[in-house]
């Protein structure tokens, strides 16, 4: 199943997240490292993408890639949920003025005492809008 690609849909990302969390720690750590160092390569190796999606990913700013790769890696390290909010393209796939937007939302909080493991809560949500 390691070579299987998942659909880049809300359901496909959920399926990938379930698959990821079922793997052993060594596998999870290798994926987290790959996300931190090569998010642009990891996404198309993991998900089925259309060429316009690959092009859009390649055009994203380096600082934004750094932000979302850090957020996603942190979320996965703590085995928290990852969600994709991706509506169907409007107007039969034609975007308004050709604009496609991505937005990350990563509310993670934690609390700990010296005697206990930390309690970490939250999720990573990536929203694509047109």
pLDDT at 97: 43
CA 128 – CA 130 distance, rounded (Å): 7
Output 83 or 115, whichever has higher pLDDT: 83
Count how many residues are written for the chain. 130
Q: Measured on CA atoms in the order 128, 58, 80, 124, is the torsion positive or negative?
A: negative
Residue 84: which residues within 8 A CB-CB, separation 6 or more? 8, 9, 10, 12, 13, 125, 126, 127, 128
Q: pLDDT (tens digit, 9 = 90+) per residue, 27-59?
A: 999 999 999 999 999 999 999 998 888 888 888
- For residues 68, 101, 126 and 38, what is the CA-based torsion angle, rounded to 10 degrees? -30
Output 56 or 24, whichever has higher pLDDT: 24
Whole-model pTM: value is 0.80
Output 111 or 2, whichever has higher pLDDT: 111
Is 63's pLDDT higher than 60?
yes
**3-state SS class at 36:** helix
Q: pLDDT (tens digit, 9 = 90+) per residue, 71-111?
A: 999 999 999 999 888 776 665 554 444 555 666 667 777 88
pLDDT at 128: 73
Is 130's pLDDT higher than 70?
no
Count CB neighbours of 93 within 10 A.
10
Residue 126: band (very low, low, confident or very high) from pLDDT cuts 50, 70, 90 = confident
Residue pair 71/38 in contact (Cβ under 8 Å)? The answer is no
């Amino acid at each position: 199943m390691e070579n299987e690609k998942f659909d880049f849909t809300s359901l496909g990302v959920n399926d990938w997240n379930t698959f990821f969390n079922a793997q052993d720690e060594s596998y999870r750590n290798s994926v987290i490292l790959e996300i931190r160092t090569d998010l642009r390569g990891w996404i198309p190796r993991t998900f089925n993408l259309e060429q316009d999606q690959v092009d859009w990913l390649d055009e994203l700013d380096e600082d934004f890639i750094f932000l979302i790769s850090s957020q996603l890696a942190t979320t996965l390290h703590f085995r928290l949920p990852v969600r994709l909010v991706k509506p169907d393209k409007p107007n039969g796939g034609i975007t308004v003025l050709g604009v496609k937007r991505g937005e990350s939302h990563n509310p993670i909080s934690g609390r700990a005492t010296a005697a206990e493991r930390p309690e970490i809560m939250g999720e990573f949500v990536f929203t694509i809008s047109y």
